Amino acid sequence: MKRLLIVMAALALVATACGGGSDSQASADDCTLGQTDGDLNLYNWTEYIPTGSLAEEAEVTDLIAAFEDEFGVNVVLTEYDSNETMLAQIDAGVAYDVVVPSDYMVSIMRSDDLLVKLNPDTVPNMANIADEFTALPYDPGNLYSAPYQWGTTGIGYKYGEIDDENGVSWGVIFDPAMNADNTGFISLLDDERETMGAALIYLGYSLNTTSEAEVDEAAALIKATKDRIAAFSSAGYWDLLTSGETMVSQGWNGDFLAAYDEASTDEYDAYEDFGYAIPTEGAAAWVDTIAVPATVEHPCTAQTFINFILDAKNGATLTNYNYYASPNAAAEEFIWEDILEWEAIYPPDDVVQRLEFFEDLGDFGTYYADAYSAAKS
């Protein structure tokens, strides 16, 4: 989107051949526009696509049912709550046709030959993607992935429980003097990059640092904070907040806003009680993508589904449902106006300048994982 003005640091990528093995890639290359070759096994984040009662409650199109009706196939949806969980399943050979990896995970999966190169003849709606999302370092030219949604990781909170007069600091989670009144009512994501990243930013470091000393300091901060944490959770943390089980929570902007929307009724406006803030020290920004893993069994159906998601109206439906910003320029005319004007979804330029995207850390990622695991133990 035009509001995304961040200059992203170049990622250290390993040049890879097409992922997925010769049989899968050959099958993908042979696919034609709109072709299906079986049902679709979709592996996606929790509640990240409108379907069933979720679509009905949000008053948007059920995209899974719409795809099934248009192409005469069934979709089996399985959900995950972290990139690392998804990667482990694909690396173990579990058969999925489409996955939704975040930016840095695309780099990892490309390097490990775990993604199938997209066939441009079957994904012409790639032309709908905004220019800002067509040359990102994790996948220049979108050869292996298509942008799905983008957003920020910040703090959801109940008004009156923290001092937000001059902005919100990560200190409401990490500083014992600032969070004493909320001890036992704080949640952090159960995600090594996100949670370590928040601690690093609070300490004044990059969330992509490769300094062992800085990572160790962030891990020590998380460990020192652990006794004041109610939960490490990447799924359902929004319900903990709106139900009163937590007062302060790290999480993804769209999750919080959707939860506030769901908690609201004709008689009650949850937005009067709850807010979302990008912390003053800065925060993570991310792009989630849609891609075909090496475990694909139905490559033609997979690429047809990706093209379907990149349709302008379908791209708008995603944003109208999950309150994350769309990288689909053609979708903008179909996105509800109040969403386009909502700064928690499309932050202003001065806030955008405080955001930092995740990068693939290569082998140093193991150091993060070990440090995070030790901090939680």
pLDDT in tens, 13-47: 333 333 334 456 757 788 999 999 999 999 999 99
CA 163, CA 12: separation in Å to the nearest integer? Answer: 39
pLDDT in tens, 333-368: 999 999 999 999 999 999 999 999 888 898 999 999
State whether residue 77 is helix, strand or coil. strand
The reported pLDDT for the residue numbered 7 is 32
- Are 89 and 214 within one domain? no
The reported pLDDT for the residue numbered 26 is 57
Q: Is residue 16 part of a domain?
A: no
pLDDT in tens, 155-190: 999 999 999 999 999 999 999 999 999 999 999 999
- DSSP E strands in 118-252: the ranges are 145-158, 186-188, 231-232, 248-252
- Are 199 and 264 within one domain? yes
- Are 302 and 158 within one domain? no
Report, as an integer, the average pLDDT of 85-114. 96
Say whether pLDDT at 5 is over 60: no
Inter-residue long-range contacts of 164-168, CB under 8 Å, 24+ positions, other chains counted: 164/275, 164/277, 166/280, 167/277, 167/279, 167/280, 168/277, 168/279, 168/280
Partners of 188 in the β-ladder: 232
- Are 84 and 29 within one domain? yes
pLDDT in tens, 190-243: 999 999 999 999 999 999 999 999 999 999 999 999 999 999 999 899 999 999
pTM: 0.85
Classify residue 48 by burial, with Cβ atoms within 10 Å: 0-12, 13-18, 19+. Answer: buried
The reported pLDDT for the residue numbered 182 is 96
Q: Is residue 353 part of a domain?
A: no
CA 111, CA 105: separation in Å to the nearest integer? Answer: 10
Strands 274-277 and 145-158: antiparallel
The Cα angle at residue 191 between residues 139 and 94, in degrees rounded to 5: 65
- Are 209 and 99 within one domain? no
The reported pLDDT for the residue numbered 24 is 66
Q: Is residue 7 part of a domain?
A: no
Report, as an integer, the average pLDDT of 107-134. 95
Q: Is residue 36 part of a domain?
A: yes
**Full domain range(s) for residue 44:** 21-149+288-346
H-assigned helices in 36-191? 52-58, 63-71, 83-91, 103-111, 171-174, 176-179
Provide, rounded to the nearest whole percent, the portion of the chain with pLDDT above 90.
88
- Are 228 and 177 within one domain? yes
CA 84, CA 332: separation in Å to the nearest integer? Answer: 31
The DSSP letter of residue 126 is G
Q: Is residue 298 part of a domain?
A: yes
Residue 207's domain is classified under what CATH number? 3.40.190.10
- Are 162 and 94 within one domain? no
Say whether pLDDT at 4 is over 90: no
The reported pLDDT for the residue numbered 312 is 98
Place of tokens 């370092």: 137
Question: Mean pLDDT in the chain?
Answer: 92
Report, as an integer, the average pLDDT of 292-306. 97
The reported pLDDT for the residue numbered 235 is 87
Do residues 151 and 254 touch, judged by C-beta distance below 8 A?
yes
Q: How many domains does the chain have?
A: 2
The reported pLDDT for the residue numbered 23 is 59
CA 74, CA 273: separation in Å to the nearest integer? Answer: 41
The reported pLDDT for the residue numbered 18 is 34
Q: Is residue 13 part of a domain?
A: no
Say whether pLDDT at 315 is over 50: yes
- Are 70 and 197 within one domain? no
- Are 297 and 271 within one domain? no
Q: Is residue 5 part of a domain?
A: no
Q: How is the chain split among helix, strand and coil, in percent rounded to 5? A: 45, 15, 40
- Are 337 and 369 within one domain? no
- Are 61 and 35 within one domain? yes
Report, as an integer, the average pLDDT of 146-155. 97
Q: Is residue 10 part of a domain?
A: no
- Are 255 and 306 within one domain? no
